[in-house]
Amino acid sequence: MPPIYEPKNRAREFSPYALTIYSRCNAMCSYCFNARYPRSNSYFGIPEPRPHLIKLLEKQLSKQKIDKQVLLSFIGDPYGPPNEIHGMTRKVLSILHNHNVPVAILTKGGTRCLKDIDIFKSFDGRIKVGASLTFIEEKDSLKWEPGAALPMNRFEALKELHRKGIKTFSSLEPVIDPNQTLQIIHETSDFVDHYKVGKVNHFKDYENQVDWEKFLVDVVTLLRRLRKPFYIKHSLQIFNRSIKFEPQETDQNFLNVRPWLTS
């Protein structure tokens, strides 16, 4: 499979294309699909850069024009601790920039991404940088996602990116504690440009404790009141009984980064 690929099923709601930089993940999130139903014992561990990634990426982009958003990344974290050693994310971004590829970065690495603000700015609007935000309480984050940056550190990163003119977003998924998710929106709305919202999956004990219809009404009402663009994931849409959605609010492509228009 080439480095840039088309994700399927639920993953497609994130982006029309994706690229994996590191082979494993050490965030150790217990809500991760791979933690609940591991495909292999090798998913979690010390991440290493994908072999020959730079060469393969250059080869693909020399032959294929990618003019839709590429997400970094579904496996591993582009700004996890191993990137401090290998620096592969910056190398990948440089190539994507040179080929006019629009990019979305999703990270739990917090302020580690700020070292690349200069290259983010060089994309001139063809990039957005987001954080997965599940909890606002530090103790819950430490319990569920011990290898990720703490919530306030992620907030700090988003705030600085916004201040520097970089488009920001948050993936509010999985929603485990609806009250914390709503509080996250209140705390971040001044520096997050848009939100994507999806419920927890694969954890029936938690799923069955939440009134998802009520949460859906609450989160849509709040985001509309704050005038924040948002996308509701399909797993949450199915609980709708009373909301009349605007077309873009359930359009998985609405918030994607667009390429420069070239002649």
pLDDT at 198: 96
Give the residue numbers spanning the domain of 50.
4-247
Provide the 3-class DSSP secondary structure of residue 167: strand
Evaluate whether residue 257 is within a structural domain: no
Residue with tokens 């228009």, as numbered in its chain: 261
pLDDT at 256: 97
On whether the CB atoms of residues 154 and 108 are closer than 8 A, the answer is yes
Evaluate whether residue 236 is within a structural domain: yes
How many other C-beta atoms can be found within 10 angstroms of the C-beta atom of residue 113?
25
On whether the CB atoms of residues 42 and 115 are closer than 8 A, the answer is no
**pLDDT reading at 49 higher than 90:** no
| Higher per-residue confidence, 246 vs 47 | 246
Evaluate whether residue 52 is within a structural domain: yes
Give the residue from 207, 184, 212 showing the smallest Cα distance to 196.
Answer: 184
- Give me the number of domains the chain comprises: 1
pLDDT at 258: 87
Evaluate whether residue 82 is within a structural domain: yes
**Mean pLDDT computed over every residue of the chain:** 92
Question: Can you give the CATH number for the domain in which 152 is found?
Answer: 3.20.20.70
Evaluate whether residue 259 is within a structural domain: no
Per-residue pLDDT tens digits for 167-218 = 999 999 999 999 999 999 999 999 999 999 999 987 777 888 899 999 999 9
Evaluate whether residue 254 is within a structural domain: no
Per-residue pLDDT tens digits for 79-100 = 998 999 999 999 999 999 999 9
Evaluate whether residue 201 is within a structural domain: yes
Per-residue pLDDT tens digits for 247-258 = 999 999 999 998
Handedness of CA 68, 79, 41, 198 (dihedral sign): negative
CA distance 182 to 172: 10
Average pLDDT over residues 138-154: 95
Evaluate whether residue 126 is within a structural domain: yes
pTM of the model: 0.93
**pLDDT reading at 120 higher than 80:** yes
CA distance 99 to 20: 18
